[in-house]
Amino acid sequence: MANTIDETKIKTDLYDAVNGDWLKTAVIPADHSTTGGFTDLADNIEKTLMSDFDELLKGNLQPTNPEQTEFKKFYALTTNFAKREKDGAAPLKPFIDRITKLTNYQDLSDQLADWILTGLPTPFSFDIDSDMKNSTTYALFASGPSLFLPDKTYYAEGNQAAAQLMPIFTDIMTQLFKLAGYGDDEAKTIIDQAEQFDRLIAPHVKSAEEGADYSKMYNPRSLDDIAGSTDKLDLKAAIMTLVKGTPDVIITPEPAYFDALNDLLTDANFPLMKSWLLVKTVSGLSSYLTEDFRQTSTIFGRALSGRKEARSQEKAAYDLATGVFDQVVGDYYGRKYFGEAAKKDVHNMVVKMVNVYKKRLANNTWLGKATRDKAVLKLDKLGIQVGYPDTITPLYSKFKVTTAEDGGSLLSNIMTFTRIRNEDEFSKWNQPVDRTRWEMSANTVNAYFHPFHNIIVFPAAILQAPFYSLNQSSSENFGGIGAVIAHEISHAFDNNGSLFDEYGNLNNWWTEEDNAHFKDLAQNMIDEFDGLPYAGQKVNGKLTVSENIADGGGLSCALEAAKGEPDVDLKAFFINWATIWRSKATKEREQLLLSIDVHSPAKLRANVQVQNLDDFFSTFDVVEGDAMYKAPADRVKIW
């Protein structure tokens, strides 16, 4: 990560002044679409764990719990490339046959609950999360399906990206169906029909921008309303079987989709839907088969992201194994490479940042007392999770691997685990919410805030340099992990998080006046980013507003914390802030993210937010006429 920093250029471009030397020499690996701070940490963790798990397979490293024993067996299956070549397309056949045997909607309706538990695709999706109005209980959610292309906006007439991508998708699926034993004509018919159905779905699901607005997620409907969305499938019986009960309310983030479902599931459209199910299944399961299947299945993702090569067999096998046993792997990584001492140290740092945030709220000049008190109460109730969970989720004790010697294939085990996972998920309906449950494994370089639970989570993987290190100064640490911690805290008060109370309930705790003022400030943040040029396109201020608010609040709060330390060094603070966003990406990836990602581009996250802080200008003597200068009246300040 070391590089030369040109402080003379900070007045022109903070990000380039800090990272320019690195950007000149950084090379994006052929199997990556990006390299830089987050990616480098992830790659180093991957290298470490692949080495450890190689020793595990050799017997030189012993499992420390039953879940690791099953992980070892599964990793042996994912790395048994000879077995996967020998099996060919055979493991896929039972699932293709099940779809092929459908002659009408009734055939699907008769087995719908089992179909969903198996993990086969459907033209809608059900999942479980905490009830947005009663966060202590798990509720059933109903949404539309994912599309072939990244976002519904790609389906607009004349979209150039779609014109390039859909032919690639068609070609890939033709190759995959050929590998599965289909003739050219039959494959062409299936793929053409599937793409027709996908285009019919697209207008009725939400775009990334629409989905980013949590205020429009809560659309409760009765079981009969959802069941009445189509007369072709018995959704009521399927739902009652899945959850083993009768939900009074089903939350529907995409109500327009269910309003349109009856028009989508017509007799004339049945062949189209059936082909869509086949394409979804072959595409979704190909990575678990032969190397030809795997390599072909990655072509579309590579075209989207600009990756030149697929992951190696060995890395792909690691991805599969660690993806299925993610919390088991996270437990191993956290305990071995992070430990209880570091866990306590970072937890204390999080508490310190929460207290700084409380102080800032107490001194806030635009919030009324009633709203301010509720905001502080929300911080008092904030759940903090650091490093790794205390115990492995019981789900993983149910994963029992059928080895190759006992007739198991990689895909058969995957589908067995998928069913176990789905059954476990639906069993949570109407049960108490477990706020201690981790949704991200400890070996993941990331962090998150869950608005439905009012918790912040910092996996062990991100708690290392340049984000955090005992060898860094306090200012560097606050410019790194301090800003990340405060970012996640700020999500409790962004345009989405602010909709939820201290228990994670969708509940307006703002006074009308304060809420109006906040919306005006949020609009300022939208305007600050909206239309900024990047990678030949423009930033969508509405899509990225929640993350931009969190960045602004996080950086401002971390700055105050840094200034409270005896060894404060604001140059080091701002320089490390720019360092953690160091990134080099393919143009394809940058353009894709501009369309679907709620985060602004890394360079803009580094540069724009510092322009909202008065201390940045005084620290580096940035004045009017300098490229990094922003007039005080234009500086966006929310938290």
Catalytic positions, please?
A: 488, 551
| Inter-CA distances, 307 with 34, 299, 558, Å | 9, 9, 35
Q: Which helix H or strand E contains 450, and what residues bound it? A: strand 448-450
* Residues whose CB is less than 8 angstroms from the CB of residue 587 and which lie 6 or more positions away in sequence, other chains included: 306, 535, 536
Instruction: Establish how many alpha carbons lie within 13 A of residue 571's alpha carbon, considering only the half-sphere containing its beta carbon.
Output: 10
Nearest one of 450, 443, 328, 325 to 381, comparing CA atoms: 450
Between CA 63 and CA 52 the distance in angstroms is: 11
Q: Which amino acid is at 208?
A: A
Count helices and strands in the chain by DSSP H and E runs: 29, 11
Strand partners, 128: 140
Q: Which ranges of 326-441 does DSSP label H, i.e. alpha helix?
A: 326-337, 339-362, 369-380, 410-426
* Residues whose CB is less than 8 angstroms from the CB of residue 523 and which lie 6 or more positions away in sequence, other chains included: none
Nearest one of 499, 538, 540 to 207, comparing CA atoms: 540
Assigned token pair, 334: 């956290």
3-state helix, strand, coil in the chain (%, to 5): 60, 5, 35
Q: How far is CA 547 from the centre of its chain?
A: 13
Strands (E), 38-117: none
* Residues whose CB is less than 8 angstroms from the CB of residue 79 and which lie 6 or more positions away in sequence, other chains included: 57, 314, 317, 321
Contact between residue 440 and residue 457 where contact means Cβ atoms under 8 Å apart: yes
Nearest one of 295, 255, 237 to 84, comparing CA atoms: 295
DSSP 491-541: GGGSTTGGGB-TTS-B---S-HHHHHHHHHHHHHHHHHHTT-EETTEE--H
Residues present in the chain in total: 639
Dihedral, CA of residue 304, residue 309, residue 311 and residue 314, to nearest 10: 170
Strand partners, 383: 455
Neighbours of 335 (CB within 10 A): 16
Assigned token pair, 236: 């009521």
Rounded to 5 degrees, what angle do the CA atoms 317, 329, 554 make? 110
Handedness of CA 244, 246, 252, 255 (dihedral sign): positive
Q: Which ranges of 564-596 does DSSP label H, i.e. alpha helix?
A: 570-580, 587-596
Q: At what angle do helices 570-580 and 14-25 cross, to 10 degrees?
A: 50
Between CA 245 and CA 41 the distance in angstroms is: 45
Contact between residue 304 and residue 31 where contact means Cβ atoms under 8 Å apart: no
> What DSSP state is assigned to residue 244?
T
Between CA 71 and CA 57 the distance in angstroms is: 10
Between CA 4 and CA 36 the distance in angstroms is: 16
